[in-house]
Amino acid sequence: MFKKKLVALSAIMIAGLMTFQANVSADAVEEKPYLSLGADLSASQKSKVLELLGVKENELDQYKVVKVTNKDEHKYLDDYLDSSVIGTHALSSVLIEKRDKGEGIDVTTKNITYCTAGMYENALTTAGVTDANVTVAGPFNITGTAALVGAMNAYEDMTGENISSESKDAATNELVVTSKLADQLNDSEKAEQFLALIKEKVLSDDVKTKEDINTIIDECSKDLDVNITDDQREQIAELMQKINKLDLNVNDLKEQASKIYDKLSEMDIDAQGIFAKIKTVLSSIFAALSGLLQ
């Protein structure tokens, strides 16, 4: 009788242990959404931002909450924007949730006046961010340039993947350059497409020199009927030199910012760079000569 009770008790303990392990495993793989809040939000502003992000204040324990300070913002933006534009308060906030592999980046903005969803998507791909839903919100109309810092920091915490300082710098630089170009063109979508197309051609051809990058900029200007100043050309060329040092994969880039690149494809714009075309022509010539010599 004692043995039977011992066996029964052992079975109960094993079942309980298996249940406990299953619960621990489930908790271990659970990924909480990340919420990056501006450190200077007042109580009422915080409530407004959470409302826009679809987050209930009494459910904040279901999120991993991090803060972004104005010092963080100035660290990455001072080289590209006047301090008066960045301001003295960190207010922009970001909700970031992981998506399944291959689903790409999807950005939504609320109360953001300067940066569009496409600009964020372009910049985040440059930073190496992949497969994420990103919502950017302000308590009232704000530029949103600093929100990129919060998105990158939250992504690092969420995935455990380090985003290098070079990647963060290039992504921030790209966001500002695209935003300024959108102002000059009075067309945000065209500015997004222009930078995305240049980036794809530079990376596809592995173009490194400013002279060759300028050739690609000219080609893209014709493709999209965009007129830029010499100063803008210089800024874009310097940005592309930074981006080309990041070892980004072009196919991953197009997958992550698919909405922009799909649009370019629909416009029937040849994304193959001029140097890739030259290589293709030369390969054809060498192949023809080889055939003649056989």
Tell me the C-alpha distance between 271 and 268, whole Å. 9
Q: How crowded is the C-beta side of 289, counted as CA atoms within 13 Å?
A: 6
pTM value is 0.80
Distance of CA 1 to the CA centre of its chain: 66
The DSSP annotation for 154-169 comes to: HHHHHH-PPPPHHHHH
Report the pLDDT value the prediction gives residue 249, as an integer from 0 to 100: 92
Residues of the chain with pLDDT under 50: 2-29, 273-284, 286
Within 10 A of 79 (CB to CB), how many other CB atoms are there? 11
Tell me the per-residue pLDDT of 33-72, one tens digit each, with 9 for 90 and over. 999 999 999 999 999 999 999 999 999 999 999 899 999 8
For residue 225, with 0-12 CB atoms within 10 Å meaning exposed, 13-18 middle and 19 or more buried, which class applies? Answer: exposed
Q: How far is CA 118 from CA 44, 95, 108, 196, 245, in A?
A: 29, 17, 9, 10, 23
Task: Name, in order, each residue with C-beta under 8 angstroms of 285's C-beta and a sequence gap of 6 or more.
Answer: none
Report the pLDDT value the prediction gives residue 83, as an integer from 0 to 100: 84
Report the pLDDT value the prediction gives residue 87, as an integer from 0 to 100: 84
Within 10 A of 275 (CB to CB), how many other CB atoms are there? 18
Q: Please give the backbone phi and psi of residue 236, each rounded to the nearest 5 degrees, phi first.
A: -70, -40
- DSSP assigned state of 240: H
Report the pLDDT value the prediction gives residue 293, as an integer from 0 to 100: 54
Within 10 A of 8 (CB to CB), how many other CB atoms are there? 10
Within 10 A of 57 (CB to CB), how many other CB atoms are there? 10
Report the pLDDT value the prediction gives residue 294, as an integer from 0 to 100: 60
Report the pLDDT value the prediction gives residue 69, as an integer from 0 to 100: 92
Task: Name, in order, each residue with C-beta under 8 angstroms of 36's C-beta and a sequence gap of 6 or more.
Answer: 65, 66, 67, 68, 93, 94, 95, 96, 150, 151, 153, 154
